[in-house]
Structure 1
Amino acid sequence: MGGIMIEILKDISIGLAPLSKAEIKTMVEQLKAYKLLKGYRSKAGINIEQFIDTVQKVSLLVQHLPEIAELDINPLLANDQQITAVDARVRIG
């Protein structure tokens, strides 16, 4: 969750790469917005397993390419079918 969740609610989770799927799952479950991510009322949640896989792949990317100083994916769109990185910025340094 971005935007208001980060700016107002400070709903973030931070980990150090490389992250295991279990670590990522715990991080996601600790978010205040986790109930929204799982789905609520008649609204479908995101595909949590696919989201965890995506985060793990990014974690492995920065582990294997230590020259990456910064990596920003914004926005990362998610629904019950797919995860899509709309824009990304990488700073090498």
Structure 2
Amino acid sequence: MGWEQWLGKLGVTGIDSRRGPRFSDYYQAVQAAIAGQGVLLGSRLVMKDLITSSLLVTPFPEGVQTDLGYDVIASRGAAERPEVLAFIHWIAGQALT
């Protein structure tokens, strides 16, 4: 989700979301935000440790639900191993809580 979509879901108008620095690498965008060079859109779950340690803050109380998610991917051979299956079941359970 980009700024335009995020602002639109909140009903915010009059902001040119194309202005300002842009990064093709998410890690660079995170580091720029930590350095005080702007703001970024991110998942609170992914940013949790950075927020807890006060390296980043959530300046807006609003959040936006998206249909973005994560996939667990493994080779066919690995996916049949008991320890990999156990991990897949564990991580799926963590994602649902």
TM class, shorter-length? under 0.3
Q: When the two structures are superposed, what TM-score results if normalisation uses the length of structure 1? A: 0.23
* Structure with the largest fraction of helix: 2
Q: If the length of structure 2 is used for normalisation, what is the TM-score?
A: 0.22
| Structure with greater proportional strand content | 1
Q: Larger radius of gyration, structure 1 or 2? A: 2
